[in-house]
Chain A
Amino acid sequence: MTTAPSAATPAEVTEIDASARCSLLLLLGSALLWLVVSGALALVNLVQLHTPSFLADCPLLTFGRTQALQETTFIYGWAANAGLAVALWILARLGGSPLRSLNWVSAGTVFWNLALTLGLVGIATGDAMSNAWLHLPRYVLPMMLVAYGTIAVAGVLAWTGRRQQMTFASQWYAVAALFLFPWIFSAAQVMLVFTPERGVLQALVAGWFVQGAWTLWLAPLALASAYYLVPKVSGRAIPSYDFAALSFWTLLVVGAWTGGRHFIGGPIPAWVASIAGVSCALLLFHYIVVGINLRGAFSGGGSTVLKFVAFGLGAYVLGGFLDALTAIRGVALITQFTYFSTAQSQLALNGAYSMMMFGAIYFLVPRITGQAWASSALIRAHYLAAIIGTIGLVVALAMAGWVQGHDLNDPAVTFAAIATHTKTWLQIATAAQALLLLGNLLLLGHLLKSAASSYLAPANATFRQPPTMEASVS
């Protein structure tokens, strides 16, 4: 059942990479452009947290709108575009044949980003919806769903048309993410936007959507990338691989049930929060297995790709444990509804998701363009900016949240006093966000340079023929 490597082992870079160049570069370029826009908006938003007069006279950029704009740009601009590009590329490589329907991918990308742009204008001019992670105005939502479908179909074709019957964890996560997003996105559209549920149920659906978009869409995309990169770069098989499937199904089955953790202590039936709490605990199994499976990332032997993945993996597992910890009612008493929750989502998005995607981008772009990255100093600078920025942002927000949580529980402390107490931490978070923005600007410039030279200069990247992996590890 295992196919022996054919006599002529295929080269590392093949038609699979070259044919996908235009479509994937379009996705990745849009992704990084949005990442920079989102970073700039997040910076404005953080400044407004401690200096409320900043841009307060500009109706397009008041606090509520910059918050909605930066979140939407990050999720639907950066995360969606980058995740799709990486998932398509991994599915094509493991599937063993070039991507089909690439014109649809490019067209879908254009329409997805046009709809997103329209939506962002809508948010800035007052059409925003009030749901976390779903601020987009109603008129762009159906178009985004269709555009997503046209992009994702290439991934589904790569999966169904794969050369070999056997599959790998990376493919499970990628395919799951491709299929699950349309489900949660369309369900949320119907239940929150077009025929909104009333009362408590609306809040519950909103919490389910936010959690689902993370555990069933973005987290699987990030894991698809990490599960591919770690064995691929290190050349060592994944340890305790037999648990990977159980861990995968735990995430899919239990993941979205943790949505109620956003409402612990809020006015919802007790069982919803209780189920969310125990689901967070059950999900620890998934995080432990992922940590064991991918621990090879921490001994990457100087590979920058694996350094990014290792940071992302650490953030992912830490985030899982923090979710479980803050889902305990006694802890939620302090952390719930404070900056601490913001710190947790930044840990997941900037810490886990972005870092794993950066690793994938540094690995795949030279393969699809045929051009080595222009400068290793730029890569190192981006790495430093990304890790210092992320750590600074998450720690500062968590500290601000901890202070805020304690203050809010003390009726003697006024709101003005709370703002004073958290101000220093928020300023540190602002500085960290500025550093993140700088690092991401470097990556955008670097990618544009690489993309341009792939059309102007002959290919200069040289990839050795990779060795064959032994199954004997672990």
Chain B
Amino acid sequence: MSDQNPIDPRQEQAGASDESLLAAHEKLLGKKPEDGAHYKLLPLALLFVFSGLIFYAGTYLNHYSGHYDASIFNENAHPSNAAAETVKIDPMVLGKKNFELVCATCHQVTGLGVPGVYPPLAGSEWVNGSEERVIRIVIYGLKGDVKVEGTNYNAAAMPVIGKVTGSGYNWSDEKIAAVLTYVRASFGNKAPAITAEKVAEIHAKEGDRKEWSQEELLKIH
């Protein structure tokens, strides 16, 4: 029966004995590439694939590992670098760098904002006015209407920047102070610098709270 029909599903025949299966594969392992220097394309392609995957893995982890910090749940968050804080940093340099990284997305590198959407920082009474008020805005954000230089803005909200629950940035008080110092001394603004201690003081006083509204701020200041 098995002669007429070589593959009988009721009792499938083996194509090789176990001994020769072992021996044949053992022989394959020791094989050198044929023709001396001519490597086969498939192994090369596989090596490229593997290297590519490792490269991707490394790059991804570098960006989205949250510095392997057990308390960072947002893969985009970058915690402040504790080692760097011991070095004295020029707040204008740190401020400019972080302003261009984050704030300039809306307020533009020129500090002029986008008419009708993002309020300007240059010449703004909110920036150059009370330092406690502007600190409050940056740490906790601002929602709803805001009147700047006579124009009302409410198309966008100022996000939460400080180390507050729900913050997308988790900036340290020092970073916030540096950016405020930079903003208050650039774009034609000439307001005095803001210290990290002052930011920390406001942060401690307000604790963990939601975004401000214009009315709340005007009531305090």
Contact = CB atoms under 8 A, between A and B. Distances in A.
Interface of A: 1-6, 9-10, 12, 93-94, 96, 164, 166-169, 231-238, 240-243, 245-246, 267-271, 273-275, 277-279, 281-282, 284-285, 288-289, 292, 301-305, 329, 362-363, 366, 372-376, 379-380, 461-471, 474
Contacts of A94: 18, 21-22
Closest 5 CB pairs of A and B: A235-B15, A270-B66, A278-B57, A469-B16, A471-B27
Interface string B1-23: 01000011111111111111111
Given A96-B18, A468-B16, A471-B25, 14 more contacts: A12-B14, A232-B21, A241-B28, A271-B67, A274-B61, A275-B65, A284-B53, A301-B7, A303-B7, A372-B11, A376-B8, A462-B2, A463-B11, A471-B28
Nearest to A14: B18
Given A285-B49, A285-B50, A270 B75 contact: yes
Residue of B8, B20, B46, B69 with most chain A CB atoms under a 10 A cut-off: B20
A376 B21 contact: no
Contacts of B7: 301-304
A379 B25 CA distance: 31
A96 B61 contact: no
Contacts of B67: 271
A156 to B, nearest CB: 19
Contacts of B12: 233, 303-305, 362-363, 366
B37 interface: no
Interface of B is mostly: helix
Contacts of B9: 303-305, 362, 373, 376, 379-380
Contacts of B53: 281-282, 284-285
A233 B70 CA distance: 51
5 contacts: A4-B23, A243-B46, A278-B61, A284-B53, A471-B27
B64 A274 contact: yes
Interface of B: 2, 7-29, 31, 42-43, 46, 49-50, 53-54, 56-57, 60-61, 64-75, 77
A474 B17 CA distance: 19
Contacts of A467: 15-17, 20
B72 A269 contact: yes
A234 B6 CA distance: 12
A470 B23 contact: no
A372 B186 CA distance: 89
A330 to B, nearest CB: 12
B10 A374 contact: yes
B25 to A, nearest CB: 5
Given A240-B46, A270-B65, A463 B14 contact: yes
A375 B9 CA distance: 9
B139 to A, nearest CB: 23
A448 to B, nearest CB: 16
B17 A466 contact: yes
A245 B43 CA distance: 13
Contact of B23 (A3, A10, A279): A3
B10 A169 contact: no
B73 A267 contact: yes
A93 B18 contact: yes
Nearest to A379: B9
B119 to A, nearest CB: 30
Contacts of A468: 16-17, 20
A360 B7 CA distance: 16
A306 B124 CA distance: 75
A466 B15 CA distance: 6
A282 B16 contact: no
A325 B2 CA distance: 46
A247 B110 CA distance: 54
Given A285-B53, A362-B9, A466-B17, A270 B42 contact: no
Contacts of B10: 366, 372-376, 379
Contacts of A167: 22
B19 A5 contact: yes
B26 A2 contact: yes
A372 to B, nearest CB: 4
A469 B20 contact: yes
A373 B11 contact: yes
Contacts of A269: 66, 68-73
A297 to B, nearest CB: 12
Residue of B17, B43, B66, B74 ringed by the most chain A CB atoms within 10 A: B17
A5 B23 CA distance: 9
Nearest to A359: B12
Nearest to A239: B42
A237 B28 contact: yes
A94 B17 CA distance: 10
